[in-house]
A and B are shown apart, each in its own frame.
Chain A
Amino acid sequence: MSTSTSSSVTFSGATRIYPGSDRPAVDALDLHIEAGEFLVLVGPSGCGKSTSLRMLAGLEEVDAGQILIGDRDVTHLRPKDRDIAMVFQNYALYPHMTVAENMGFALKIAGVDKATVRKQVEEAAAILDLADYLDRKPKALSGGQRQRVAMGRAIVRQPSVFCMDEPLSNLDAKLRVSTRTQIASLQRRLGTTTVYVTHDQVEAMTMGDRVAVLKDGLLQQVDTPLGLYEKPANAFVAGFIGSPAMNLGTFSVVDGHARIGDGLVPLPRSTVEAVGAAGQVQVGFRPEALLPASEGDPGSFAVQALVVEELGSDAFLYGDLVGDDLRADHVVVRLPPRGVPQKGETVWFTVEPGGLHAFDVETGAALPTH
């Protein structure tokens, strides 16, 4: 299959306000996606990720700002003139057409001759392992097959941009994992710019070249998966990315230390300076960033184990901070699988060097930690 000319995508102050609502669903989104890049839009439901994608596809009005595909301003172009293809969450296959007709429909509309359509459909079907099903109607296919037809319909067109709106959410867990890798590898093979929407941060982390995190219509951060993981721009991103989620809590700052439970964890000087007179800081550390310690070790704090999950390769301890009755949040700690503490035991931990994240209590913005 020949590779298509792939284009960059640029959102420039793109805003969408639904009629009857005061708050923008997408608020002045600025985002540049390189040609050939796989970008994932992720965020909790209602964050505007789907709306952003639909604005790009031309299915949603753009109330302010611009959207460019390559150098072309497509802000007010009709969907069909944007040279994009989309995979819908429920696939939106035409029930009255066969698989082949579904896949070739766009080409047929564009006036491509029948033989070429058939050829391209067959090529796509071969890639997606759908060759045996071309003459079936969608209702005669399994969920996974339908999903592949939807993919096939998109790739047959060889568009300059793929838009995918949670295309895996209707599959069972196991199929989701395998399809995830198939889509990612297919995208890499085709080299088509792809904007992929999901609410599942695992999907986002595993599939995207870069991941854009949205919340309440506002772009929080765009970075590579690892970049997001290691340098979250704010507490929201920090809490959203990673599984199990980062331990986050607000603690008072005492003499350059954060008081965490009974313990005092030293804070970097730059952090303390940034906290200033506020006296409180939001501190985060990932479950794998805690090291076992003994009582009395400097910078250590105590956790009383409530539940211990043993997964074989890892173990996770869920516990309460000792000495901080006010806090209800549990602390999650990843432990090596052997010799895990018992339920009810009190265990001491320190944060590994560089494993500490600090955020402004008010704004949630990341504070310097070096």
Chain B
Amino acid sequence: MADPTLAQDAGAHTRAATPRPRRTRSPLASVALHGTLGLAVLVALFPIVWVVLSSLKPGYAIQSSEITLFVEPSFDNYVHVLTETSFPRWFLNSAVVAAFTMVIGITMSASAGYAMSRFNFPGRRGLMWVFLVTQMFPVAILIVPIYTIMANLGLIDTKLSLIIAYCTVAVPFCAWMMRGYFDTIPKELDEAAALDGLGPFATFYRVVLPLARPGLAVTAFYTFLTAWGEVAYAIAFIQTDENLTLGAGLQQFVPRFNPQWDSLTAGAVLITVPAALVFFFAQKHLVAGLTAGGTKG
């Protein structure tokens, strides 16, 4: 377990599989291991690297018969995207939408997951299935009816419409996962809290949530990513540049003819950076969070 605060009182926790004292690997095995991982890293990185390299080229050289690593490398494309397009506004909108999706998504999935983990209420088992089924109906077909509902709620062209829609995408999985995570937190802690005078909500908020940080980190990462680069809902619900998010905004660089490869590649890099940063801070918790969620899921 990556988070030591949980490890001791949980009782049921297995001993972490920390590096065991092992025989040293043979040099050959070592080379094979690092070689394989190095190759995997190469595969994982090179499409990203290729986009980054492309973003440094002038527009006409990005899609070209002659494939070269560098053509007049410069940051002109970035300057252009950041100063002469609505990119900064989309970026801000995406940040707002992703942040609120994250907060609301975490709140919803953590409380639903907690209820499913702790309370044996009528309808609990059905709910697990309902969550699964919501993942099965294709989003592409849901967009029109959801638009109509949003229109009836007067939410078209608002960031709220996106936040709500993204929550429907992310919350079922996150609730499932959080439930698994809560299952690993001893129930006695809740009982102790109940005896100490906390109600169910306060117990959840003051005792259980602080212990569920790794699970929350995964949920945060997942909800953030769901909202950050989403395209389909954003295209459908947002009507003005004022509220456009990155995924939808970037489509403006791909008009019917004459795609703006320069703006598009630079935009793609810029859109990936914050996601990578969020991921970088969350990754420490990712393994522990998914463990619990998955094991009991």
Which residue numbers of A lie inside 8 Å of B, CB to CB? 19, 54, 57-59, 78-80, 84-86, 88-96, 105-106, 109-110, 137-139, 153, 157
Contact = CB atoms under 8 A, between A and B. Distances in A.
B72 interface: no
11 contacts: A54-B191, A58-B194, A90-B11, A90-B186, A90-B188, A91-B9, A93-B9, A95-B211, A96-B5, A110-B197, A138-B8
Contacts of A84: 195
A313 B7 CA distance: 44
Contact of A139 (B4, B11, B211): B4
A94 B194 CA distance: 13
A79 to B, nearest CB: 4
A54 B195 CA distance: 11
Interface residues on B, range: 20 to 34
Nearest to B6: A95
The 6 closest A-B pairs by CB, nearest first: A92-B188, A106-B196, A80-B197, A109-B197, A92-B192, A79-B194
B53 interface: no
B196 A80 contact: yes
A191 to B, nearest CB: 20
Contacts of B197: 80, 106, 109-110
Contacts of A110: 197
Interface centre among B191, B195, B197 (most CB of A within 10 A): B195
B210 interface: yes
A137 B5 CA distance: 9
Contacts of A93: 9, 192
B123 to A, nearest CB: 13
B120 interface: yes
Contacts of A157: 196
Interface of B: 4-9, 11, 120, 186, 188-189, 191-199, 202, 207, 210-211
A92 B5 contact: no
A109 B206 CA distance: 11
A59 B194 contact: yes
Given A58-B194, A80-B195, A88 B188 contact: yes
A88 B6 CA distance: 17
A91 B189 CA distance: 9
Contacts of A137: 5
B8 A95 contact: yes
Nearest to B4: A139
Given A90-B11, A137-B5, A96 B195 contact: no
B192 A139 contact: no
A86 B191 contact: yes
A105 B188 contact: no
Contact of A92 (B191, B198, B199): B191
Contacts of B188: 88-92
A165 to B, nearest CB: 9
B5 A88 contact: no
Interface centre among A80, A94, A110 (most CB of B within 10 A): A94
Nearest to A159: B195
Contact of B192 (A19, A54, A86, A96): A86
Given A80-B195, A94-B193, 9 more contacts: A59-B194, A85-B195, A88-B191, A90-B9, A92-B192, A94-B207, A139-B7, A139-B8, A153-B192
